[in-house]
Amino acid sequence: MKDSLVLQSRVSAHPDSRCWFLAWNPTGTLLASCGGDRKIRIWGTEGDNWICKSVLSEGHQRTVRKVAWSPCGNYLASASFDATTCIWKKNQDDFECVTTLEGHENEVKSVAWAPSGNLLATCSRDKSVWVWEVDEEDEYECVSVLNSHTQDVKHVVWHPTQELLASASYDDTVKLYQEEGDDWVCCATLEGHESTVWSLAFDPSGQRLASCSDDRTVRIWRQYLPGNEQGVACSGSDPSWKCICTLSGFHTRTIYDVAWCQLTGALATACGDDAIRVFEEDPGSDPQQPTFSLTAHLHQAHSQDVNCVAWNPKEPGLLASCSDDGEVAFWEYHQTAGL
């Protein structure tokens, strides 16, 4: 396990503040970071170094909590504690705020683009999840306000291929939503975590969902369609989700983020104990009851809580992380020989 996660570079992205989230653009050439200083920074490489290519300020009045790139890579959405979501349009190295989405009653905690690029989801401390539709003229319309959670909603993420939305909440559950007729409805609730669920990540195929929680575990859930071979009960035509694996005993504090590499299938976690961990599925493990092993554990990856981990979508093994210490770190993950 030694030397399997190596530091490549460290930058002070949001000095004297927290860096809350990171997002790689679809081509993996740019990294967006956002923080408590209300700014968004775009990072790119110049030779061997990571440098700040743009600073997006004046967009928000309070902390920017999450950022997300559109699937085409031309737009960036930012979710802020000022209750708004900004949509930025990229014009070479410049970004211009083209729309501000209002409607949430208080802090917006997360934003995510659907793979089609036509839909956007936001969630907030006001317990609701909103689905927005974008039209050809870059106009955004709210198509649904979902009040299924009973507490603060922390994170939303879209399925990689289907129009299926997942949300994680302070109410200890994960909920899934899909369109039914003219409206969006909650089609499944995943219960099992014993505390706040902070983040979610789908695996490359979209058949499994990883969730991480304040209860210090990562849970892997699998989708079972009606009429499945394994005999998992489904109600009507809705698929059912079952927890097929729980990773416990590895983390000593709250797990704030989980990232599933779309290229290698490796799972990275960001923890409140300042460490980054990587897990890999054991080869040959039963798909209905998989086992994962810890393949990297980097103590003191940062000097404070690690808030986010993000795998580069094009370069296998390149991982970015950020922390309450305001720094962004870039790591190279190597699978140790003989695994």
The residues of the shown chain that bind other proteins, judged by CB under 8 A, are 102-103, 105, 128, 141-148, 182-183
**Which pair of structure tokens corresponds to residue 103?**
């409607």
Which one, 44 or 103, has the nearer CB to other proteins?
103
CB of 168 to other proteins, least distance (A): 19
Candidates 115, 162, 117; CA nearest to 140 is: 117
Which one, 183 or 194, has the nearer CB to other proteins?
183
Which one, 47 or 236, has the nearer CB to other proteins?
236
CB of 144 to other proteins, least distance (A): 6
Which one, 16 or 182, has the nearer CB to other proteins?
182
Which one, 149 or 251, has the nearer CB to other proteins?
149
CB of 86 to other proteins, least distance (A): 16
CB of 299 to other proteins, least distance (A): 44
H, E, C per residue of the chain:
CCCCEEEEEEEECCCCCCEEEEEECCCCCCEEEEECCCCEEEEEEECCEEEEEEEECCCCCCCEEEEEECCCCCEEEEEECCCCEEEEEEECCEEEEEEEECCCCCCEEEEEECCCCCEEEEEECCCCEEEEEECCCCCEEEEEEECCCCCCEEEEEECCCCCEEEEEECCCCEEEEEEECCEEEEEEEECCCCCCEEEEEECCCCCEEEEEECCCCEEEEEEECCCCCCCCCCCCCCCEEEEEEEECCCCCCCEEEEEECCCCCCEEEEECCCCEEEEEECCCCCCCCCCEEEEEEECCCCCCCEEEEEECCCCCCEEEEEECCCEEEEEEECCCCCC
Which one, 58 or 105, has the nearer CB to other proteins?
105
CB of 334 to other proteins, least distance (A): 47
Which one, 96 or 183, has the nearer CB to other proteins?
183
CB of 77 to other proteins, least distance (A): 17
CB of 137 to other proteins, least distance (A): 11
Give residue for tokens 């989980």. Answer: 258
**Alpha-carbon distance 255 to 249, whole Å?**
12
Which one, 48 or 182, has the nearer CB to other proteins?
182
**Which pair of structure tokens corresponds to residue 127?**
């317990």
CB of 148 to other proteins, least distance (A): 7
